Amino acid sequence: MLVVPAIDLLGGRCVRLHQGDYAQAETYDLDPIEVAQGFVAAGAQRIHLVDLDAARTGSATNRAVIGAIRKAVEVLVEVGGGIRSDDDVKALIDQGVDRLVVGTVLVKNPERVAGWAARFGAKFVAGIDARDGEVKVSGWEEGSALQDVDLAARCRRLGLISIVYTNIARDGTLGGPDLERTLLVAEAAGLPVILSGGIASLDDFETIRRADHPLLAGVITGKALYKNRIDLAEVIAKYQDNRHGGLW
C-alpha cells in the first residue's frame, strides 16, 4: 500500500475534525508547511490536503497555504475540498497540484467532472465520503440519498482514476478503519481505492496488509500521526510500496 499522511486546513491551520463535525475541530499548533516537509523527510511519497473552509462554504479557501506546501515539497500532492468550478480546477492545477479530489460536484454535476477529466487528463480522484453507506456532500453537512457503491460504479465512466473512500463515522475517532465497506466500494468501481478514516495503530496497517486486495492502493492517516499513536517513518518502512502511487 501507499501510506498517505493528511493535512486538514481550517483557517490556515492544521486541524482534525471528529466525524466531520466542525464544532469538534481540534487545532494543532503546527506550521502546515513544516508538517508537510516532515512527512516527506519520513518517506512520504504523497500528501493529502483538505481545504475544510472551501469544502463547507465553497468560497473561503486555504489556497495560499496549499500553494506554499506545493512549492515546499517534491512529492505528489493531492487536494480535496470545495473544488466545484472551472476556476477552482484551473487555480489548483496552476499551483502545480497533482491530484484533485472531487466530492460534492461529483454528486451534483458528474458531467462537469467528466469534462474536466477530458480537458485536463488523469488528475481527478473521487472523494466518496459516506455515513451508513449514504454519500454526504458540502463538507459532510448535506445528505445525497445516494449510496457509496452506486457512486463508485460511475467513476470510471467519468474519467476518474481512483477513489478516496471515507467512512465519516470512523474519521477522526481512532476507532479503526472500515475495511469491509472500502473493499465493497473498490469492487463496485473497479478502480484503485485509498482508505481513509479511523487509523489508530500499526495493527490497523497490518490488518489492511493482510486483506491483500489488488484495488486497495493506499491508506490515509492523520489524527494518529498528530497524536503520536504511530510513527510515520516506521509505518512507511514496514508497509509502503512506492511502485504504483504515481499512476493513481
Contacts of 63 (CB under 8 A, 6+ apart): 51, 54, 91, 92, 95
The grid cell for 220 is 490515509
Q: Tell me, what DSSP letter sits at residue 175? A: S
129 is catalytic: yes
Find where cell 481545504 sits.
Answer: 51
As a whole number of angstroms, the distance between CA 190 and CA 184 comes to: 10
DSSP 179-243: HHHHHHHHHHHTS-EEEES---SHHHHHHHHHH--TTEEEEEE-HHHHTTSS-HHHHHHHH---S
- Grid cell, residue 90, equals 484551473
Q: What is the CA radius of gyration of the chain?
A: 16
User: Which stretches of the chain are DSSP H helices?
Assistant: 32-41, 52-57, 63-72, 86-94, 104-108, 110-120, 148-155, 179-189, 202-211, 223-226, 232-239
Cβ neighbour number for residue 80 with a 10 Å cutoff: 26
Catalytic-role residue among 88, 129, 171, 204:
129
Which residues have a catalytic role annotated? 8, 129
